[in-house]
A and B are shown apart, each in its own frame.
Chain A
Amino acid sequence: MTLATLDLSPLRRGASWHQAEYAFWLVPVLAYFLFPKSLALLSQIAITALFCLSLDLILGYAGIVSLGHAAFFGLGAYAAGLLAKYGWGDPLTGLAGAGVVAATAGFITSFLVLRGSDLTRLMVTLGVSMMLYEAANKLTDFTGGVDGLQGVDIKPVLGMFNFDLYGRTAYWYSVAVLFVMFWLARRLVHSPFGLSLRGIKQNVTRMQAIGTPVHRRLMAIYTVGAAYAGVAGALLTQTTQFVSLDVMAFSRSAELLLILVLGGSGCLYGALIGTMVFMAAHHFLADLNPQYWQFWLGAALVLIVLFARDGIMGMLRRLPALPTRTKKSR
């Protein structure tokens, strides 16, 4: 009865697709035609965006800081590579397999990550990823060690689309997987489960006091985040048909954190836009000055953390001309 009298449109605004979102997803289509010679780079962007999305789910929504997220990316990458090398070259089931492997590892390590403060979590995630890195380094018979995993043979996608020399199939495959995973994540963050994650990030004490099994929720999202990272890693393996040891490197985890802060955590598009801006900047700055490009990256990071803590998405949201804003202020 009361419900009928209340205007629910502000609540619905988040869950229904905005015009700007449709426009956003035209970008990968346009990019294909505008930069046909850069498809390898564009595929990398799509893959990193998916990886960044996975960190956004656990950090941006649930507030779990991680400095070792590349562990799951790497596990997925090796899982997909080994599956293909030993005869299971079908890409989609390979992705699923890699996702399951990474999710299992995520579930097991979630017990370690739950307890303690942010600093503990940073160190535990870092420690876990270092151990996995060295394990991959040492198990040369299995992973190829520093030489990388060779002989990854991937079958055509859906039995129809061969991975071609120009990287067309690789590009569309990456973008399609990114889109589907994004769509699922988008449903998740607007659901009651997603709302409870935001609640945990904002006030754990209160969440316990309204009857939420906080630990189990955090374990669930950490597992999901690990699965997402694993799928991203598997995509990299399948599109490049090779796994190098640096899929698990510390620098990959750190860079990912940087990308998410740049884009704006706690917002799915922050992860996507952050990746696009970062990778594009990386590309152009490294062209201009191959040795010192990180200087500008560091400068941008400092400026963002000091003056725009919610990243690029935060700046976009503060633009005065957005229609939802003007409506509200009236």
Chain B
Amino acid sequence: MSAVLQTRNLSKSFGGFVASNNVSLSIQPGARQALIGPNGAGKTTLINLLTGFLEPNSGEVFLMGANVTRLAQHQRVKRGLVRTFQINQLFAEMSVLESVTLSACERLGLGWRWWQPVERHLAALDAATELLATLRLLDVAHEKVRSLPYGRQRLVEIALALASRPQVLLLDEPAAGVPASESRELFESIARLPKDVTILLIEHDMDLVFRFAERISVMVGGALLAEDVPEVIARDRRVREVYLGEILDG
């Protein structure tokens, strides 16, 4: 099977610090894959390289077989590669409905329409309300994003990404900072996503990772250390030493 997202020898360094070292990663269509590794392992840098937020020093990124290394971030989004952020990147002064509608407008190619008011573009509104219903955000549709509790802001973060109708979704610690009671609900919404959406998840909570992922990649010091199904990863001695060991000992 051909990979939906693939990197070839992707490298990036900041000054003397190598954040990404020859990473060759390959993700199959429909995968539920997790990317784990200790702090500073280069997970977020990898996402930034995949999405075009950062430019690699060398190496290539392929999306559905096409080389997208030179494409800008927004062009990759148009091709179905969408991310969420570890630290919320929201439209604080807009209502929840407005911000998700904005994202839907961009996907539907309505972003240049300047004559009709937003609420006349029913396709975008419809897509947005549908998403709010799925993520149980309808009751705060008209609240300003800024005024929501953090857990629900995290849901808006995901809603903005989903409104772009991703084929490949990169979730950068979606549950970070969310109380345990709410993170469960959050992961249920993620689990309910259509099966043909490929998901790469960065997460620190091992419970969540092993519950969610069908495949796990482990990163250490900017390089890929191992990749396999969860059972094998859990038994892998190197992984236990550098990563799981920390948790077990600590």
Residues of A with Cβ closer than 8 Å to B?
2-3, 5-8, 10-12, 14-15, 187-188, 190-196, 198-199, 202-203, 205-206, 208-214, 217, 220
Contacts and interface: CB of A to CB of B under 8 A. Distances in A.
A191 B160 contact: no
Interface stretch (B54-62, B117-125, B181-189): B117-125
Contacts of A205: 53, 85, 89
Given A11-B97, A206-B160, A211 B106 contact: yes
A6 to B, nearest CB: 5
Contacts of B83: 209
A2 B107 CA distance: 20
A192 B111 contact: yes
Interface residues of B, number: 52
A15 B125 CA distance: 15
Contacts of B53: 205, 208-209
A208 B74 contact: yes
Contacts of A206: 85, 89-91, 160
A165 B171 CA distance: 68
B91 A203 contact: yes
Nearest 9 interchain pairs by C-beta: A211-B77, A15-B117, A193-B114, A206-B89, A192-B105, A10-B142, A190-B117, A210-B103, A208-B73
Given A2-B126, A209-B83, A8 B91 contact: no
A2 B101 CA distance: 14
A8 B105 contact: no
Interface string B133-156: 100001001100000000000000
A69 B192 CA distance: 51
Given A193-B111, A195-B118, A209-B77, A3 B126 contact: yes
A191 B106 contact: no
Contacts of B138: 2, 5-6
A212 B106 contact: yes
A217 B164 CA distance: 18
Interface in B21-69: 51, 53
A214 B107 CA distance: 14
B14 interface: no
Contacts of B93: 198, 202
B73 A209 contact: yes
Contacts of A6: 97, 129, 138, 141
Nearest to A8: B119
Given A6-B129, A198-B91, A191 B118 contact: yes
A27 B151 CA distance: 47
B118 A210 contact: no
Nearest to A10: B142
A2 to B, nearest CB: 5
B114 A188 contact: yes
A43 B157 CA distance: 48
B195 to A, nearest CB: 22
A211 B141 CA distance: 22
B117 A187 contact: yes
9 contacts: A3-B129, A10-B142, A11-B98, A194-B118, A195-B102, A203-B92, A211-B74, A212-B106, A213-B111
Contact of A210 (B77, B97, B119, B142): B77
B124 A209 contact: no
B205 interface: no
B164 A211 contact: yes
Given A2-B126, A199-B102, A203-B90, A192 B51 contact: no
A196 B132 CA distance: 20
B95 interface: yes
Q: Which of B53, B93, B112 has the most CB of A within 10 A?
A: B112
Given A2-B130, A15-B117, A210-B77, A196 B106 contact: yes
B17 interface: no
Contacts of B115: 187, 191
A261 B141 CA distance: 30
Contacts of A11: 95, 97-98, 118-119, 142
B124 A192 contact: yes
Contact of B91 (A15, A194, A202): A202
A208 B51 CA distance: 10
Given A14-B117, A191-B113, A192-B113, 18 more contacts: A2-B132, A3-B122, A3-B125, A6-B97, A11-B142, A12-B117, A192-B110, A193-B111, A195-B105, A198-B91, A198-B93, A202-B91, A202-B94, A203-B89, A205-B85, A212-B106, A212-B111, A213-B74
Given A6-B138, A8-B125, A209 B85 contact: yes
Given A187-B117, A209-B89, A195 B101 contact: yes
Contacts of A203: 89-92
B163 interface: yes
A213 B97 CA distance: 22
B117 A191 contact: yes
Contacts of A195: 98, 101-102, 105, 118
Nearest to B108: A192
Given A192-B111, A195-B101, A198-B91, A210 B160 contact: yes
B116 interface: yes
